[in-house]
């Protein structure tokens, strides 16, 4: 079949976007680009430069100045892509606990979202990419050939996150994860800039009662059907 040059996968937290996106990208030989790494990059750079995360205008200025790039892996150390900031490899630095604690706040700043959307678009337009996020099909790459909005109930998503945390040996409570996820959903879906919602031409796939394998297989079927329609 004729493959789409750009594939977008949007959806709420813990819906399975990254798992699906990585699998599709690997199967096609495409770049897997989880756009959340860009927000992590800005957060890490701000922290490394002792910039107060609460200083919105300074964080927004930082996002505008830094050149962030995402490239296919050049080092076999478990990474799924190379993350570069002004040419410096920061792939693993952006995964530290300090970034985990601050990235949600950074991602709410309108100036940061605007600056990073532009950089994400630049990378996406190179083609042969599977981009995952919350506003890719609607804002970043509205012209993408194939779009999926991967959804699941907040209860199911909280169960998945709880299981992941427990598997890593983290002592967490399901109710706290559920409430945190509800708050995140509220923030993501009601923000003024690029709210979380399906693109008009996205295929909505509910993963509530599907395994990761079933979601992947269903996505391939949908992509094949979509490309057939386009070719005709």
Residues near 111 by Cβ (< 8 Å), separated by ≥ 6? 56, 57, 59, 60, 61, 63, 64
Average pLDDT over residues 104-123: 93
Q: Say yes or no to pLDDT of 200 above 60.
A: yes
Q: How many CA atoms lie within 13 A of 223 on its CB side?
A: 28
pLDDT digits (tens, 9 = 90+) for 125-147: 999 999 999 999 999 999 999 99
Average pLDDT across the chain, whole number:
92
pLDDT digits (tens, 9 = 90+) for 4-46: 999 999 999 889 999 999 999 999 999 999 999 999 999 999 9
Average pLDDT over residues 94-102: 87
Provide the whole-model pTM. 0.88
Instruction: Name the DSSP class of 78.
Output: S
For residue 186, the model assigns a pLDDT of 87
Q: CA-CA distance, 22 to 42, in Å (whole number)?
A: 23
Instruction: Name the DSSP class of 198.
Output: -
Residues near 214 by Cβ (< 8 Å), separated by ≥ 6? none
Across the chain, which distance is largest between two alpha carbons, in Å? 55
For residue 183, the model assigns a pLDDT of 86
Average pLDDT over residues 198-205: 95
pLDDT digits (tens, 9 = 90+) for 148-174: 999 999 999 999 989 988 888 888 899
Pick the CATH number of 6-152+196-217 from 3.40.50.300, 3.40.50.720, 1.10.3080.10, 3.40.50.1820: 3.40.50.300
Pairing of strands 129-133, 68-71: unpaired
């Amino acid at each position: 079949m004729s493959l789409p040059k750009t594939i977008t996968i949007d959806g709420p937290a813990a819906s399975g976007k990254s798992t699906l996106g990585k699998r599709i990208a690997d199967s096609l030989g495409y770049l897997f680009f989880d756009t959340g790494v860009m927000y992590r990059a800005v957060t890490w750079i701000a922290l490394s430069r002792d910039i107060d995360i609460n200083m919105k205008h300074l964080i927004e200025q930082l996002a505008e100045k830094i050149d962030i790039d995402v490239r296919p892996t050049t080092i076999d150390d478990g990474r799924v892509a190379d993350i570069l900031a002004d040419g410096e490899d920061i792939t693993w630095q952006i995964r530290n606990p300090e970034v985990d604690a601050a990235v949600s706040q950074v991602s709410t700043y309108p100036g940061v979202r605007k600056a990073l959307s532009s950089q994400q678009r630049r990378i996406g337009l190179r083609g042969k990419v599977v981009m995952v996020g919350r506003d890719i099909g609607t804002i970043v790459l509205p012209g993408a050939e194939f779009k999926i909005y991967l959804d699941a109930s907040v209860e199911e998503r909280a169960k998945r996150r709880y299981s992941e945390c427990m598997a890593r040996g983290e002592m967490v409570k399901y109710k706290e994860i559920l409430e945190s996820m509800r708050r995140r959903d509220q923030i993501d879906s009601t923000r003024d800039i690029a709210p979380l919602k399906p693109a008009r031409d996205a295929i909505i796939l509910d993963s509530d009662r599907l395994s990761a394998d079933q979601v992947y297989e269903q996505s391939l079927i949908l992509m094949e059907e979509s490309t057939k329609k386009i070719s005709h």
